[in-house]
Amino acid sequence: MCGIAGIYHLETPKPVDPARVEAMCDAMVHRGPDGHGVWTAPGVGLGHRRLSIIDLAGSPQPMASSDGRAMLVFNGEIYNYRELREELRKAGAMFHTDGDSEVILAAWQRWGPECVSRLHGMFAFALYDCEARTLFLARDRLGVKPLFMAPLSDGSLAFGSELKALLAHPMLRREVDPLAVEDYLAWGYVPDSSSMLKGVMKLPAGHSLLLQHGKAMPDPRQYWDVSFTERRKGKVEDLEAELLHLMRQAVTSRMAADVPLGAFLSGGVDSSSVVALMAETSSQAVRTCSIGFDVAALDETAYASQVAQRYGTDHQVRQVSPDDFGMIDALAGMFDEPFADASALPTWRVCQLARESVTVALSGDGADEALAGYRRHLFQYGEDRIRALVPQAVRAPVFGTLGAIYPKADWAPRPLRAKTTLLSLAGDSAEGYARAIGFTPPELRDSLYSPEFLRLRGDYRAEAPLLDLMRRAPARSGLDRAQYADLKAWLPGDILTKVDRTSMAVSLEAREPLLDHRLIEFAASLPESMRVRSGQGKWLMKRTMQRFLPDDILYRPKQGFVTPIAQWFRGPLAQVARDVCSSAQLARTGWFDSRRLTGLVDAHLAGTSDNSRLLWQLLMLEKAFTKLGIA
């Protein structure tokens, strides 16, 4: 796990200052504290920060190919590198190291740009071919590893693993894109399709980009997609066996490391499944870690300890207070762009605990998206059945009117909070799901904006790209389209961004076995009844893991990391909430209605409505603007 950065001149191959590339890498020293290097040639510069995981002493980067023709900087892990090494060796390739970086170079020599489809793993890399004078950029299929890019005024393209690397380049403009603000308020993160700074781009997951001196920058090329169009047939027992094989294969391949390795263990289905399969393979006790909270309703350590005891893991538990609001500034600094998923705080805490004893930790991320494990998937499945029975011409006026007048009852028991469901049913399946996963609904966003911002935003709505993604998805049902949207937008934009930044902040490599692309492809082919059944998501996975885990682990309600931001903003952060409304940073933009913001804070403090998520969003936006140095 590492950080990469570089500069490539698209027009004339001007000299690249090594000190500039070095500065870009130094901005990400947390991603690679074990080593660094810079290589330059006419028109190109590549830089690397290394966190040593495999072949600790033998794979420094930037790395040259055996014939000296190509140069590589690489962030991530290739899990099938040993199999590829053997295949390439039989084809005549020569190897001088025991790591996976050299395998990428040999794969490029043999297959060119198509090499990326042969790599199984999480990665973002830049490979310069000195003979062809091309730069090849690639990102893994699901977007586990990030890659930011920005065309600059001198005709070059700067790129790096984090926005921090680009910010270290003096030519990067620090001008906010108002459309990205709309995206952020809608979703709680800035999606891969946009960036908070104008001119900055993110290479999409499952895409590559081939650049050549003297030619215009082309569009990225998609080399992988997941399809929900097929339906796997066969007995439940056979599908169960296939799923278990894929899970075992994914876990085992991600246990290769020359440094201490362990796992996060929350006590939920996904992390418990990963730990169970690790224990099955490991010749020694698996190292696991959990964090607990001093509020009983938020604490899951008893379930984690149950799994740890069952599999004899070397288990560490740390109790932390949910009142971690003192770390907000540090958290905002990790993400560069505003990021409003408050579970980033406890995620960072568990990464800190893991790093005390291991350098690599396996997580359970990905199963909910692949196998329909979120409650919203159950709602989507049920709502689509209603949509199939009631025509749109009836639903739109009836449910739309009811939803508009139904109170936003944040204080009420969950079954009585029907406003979102009614508004969801008023639209089609894609519109309903967009509303379900949204952070701040369009009606509320519109009320926050000033006339100036509405003018800048124009006809753009944050939901439009997601609706287009879902409607064009290779899918057969509304549930398929919802999961496709999760895998393509929510997963790289929120979940994987959160895990990458919080783990890399403490120089920890996090690996996600349940995001093995072969497992994802298999899950997408399952009939809906194998994913959702009897009010349960991840039905086939839970059935598969019954021989490994008890029912109170498999079938208890999903919880996840919780951060009590509603209480914070009515307690120790009450003044912070008031200050956000009058923030000089936000006020300077002229984009928000300060009276409306003040009213929302007053209502939250009075307890008449829960506006904590919006207040957290605005707080993170303000801090991101400050960190980015935006005037």
2 is catalytic: yes
> Which tokens in the block code for residue 610?
């829960």
26 annotated as a binding-site residue: no
15: CB partners within 8 A, 6+ apart: 40, 42
Between CA 362 and CA 126 the distance in angstroms is: 25
Largest CA distance in the chain: 73
User: Annotation-wise, does 607 bind a ligand?
Assistant: no
Residue 179 CA to residue 188 CA, distance in Å, equals 14
Q: Which two tokens stand for residue 525?
A: 């082919």
The pairing of beta strand 63-64 with beta strand 70-78:
antiparallel
Query: Are 370 and 520 contacting, i.e. CB atoms less than 8 angstroms apart?
Result: yes
Half-sphere exposure of 222 (CA within 13 A, CB side): 7
421, exposed or middle or buried, with CB in 10 Å at 0-12, 13-18, 19+? buried
Q: Which amino acid is at 208?
A: S
Q: Which two tokens stand for residue 385?
A: 């059945």
DSSP state of 580: H
Q: Can you spell out the DSSP letters for 341-369?
A: -TTHHHHHHHHHHHHTT-SEEE--TTHHH
Q: Calculate the CA 146 to chain-centre distance.
A: 9
Q: How far apart are CA 243 and CA 538, in angstroms?
A: 12
Q: Rounded to whole angstroms, how far apart are CA atoms 136 and 134?
A: 6
Q: Taking Cα atoms as reference points, which of 76, 3, 1, 78 lies closest to residue 38?
A: 3
| H/E stretch holding 129 | strand 121-129
Separation CA 359–CA 357 (nearest Å): 7
CB within 8 Å of 381: residues ≥ 6 apart: 372, 478, 479, 528, 532
Tokens of 77: 């892990």
Q: What is the DSSP letter of 393?
A: H
In the three-class reduction of DSSP (H, G, I as helix; E, B as strand; rest coil), residue 524 is classed as: helix
Q: Are 624 and 335 in contact (CB under 8 A)?
A: yes
Return the structure tokens found at 334.
């990790």
Decide: residue 314, CB within 10 A, 0-12 exposed, 13-18 middle, 19+ buried. Answer: middle
Structure tokens that stand for 439 in this block? 């952070």
- Spell out the residues 6+ positions from residue 260 whose beta carbon is closer than 8 angstroms to its own: 287, 357, 358, 359, 360
364 a known binding residue?
A: yes
Q: 186 φ, ψ to 5°?
A: -70, -40
Confirm whether residue 363 is marked as ligand binding. Answer: yes
Contact 507, 353 (CB under 8 A): no
Q: Which residues are annotated as a binding site for L-glutamine?
A: 100
Q: Which residues are annotated as a binding site?
A: 100, 291, 363-364
- Report, as residue numbers or ranges, the catalytic residues: 2
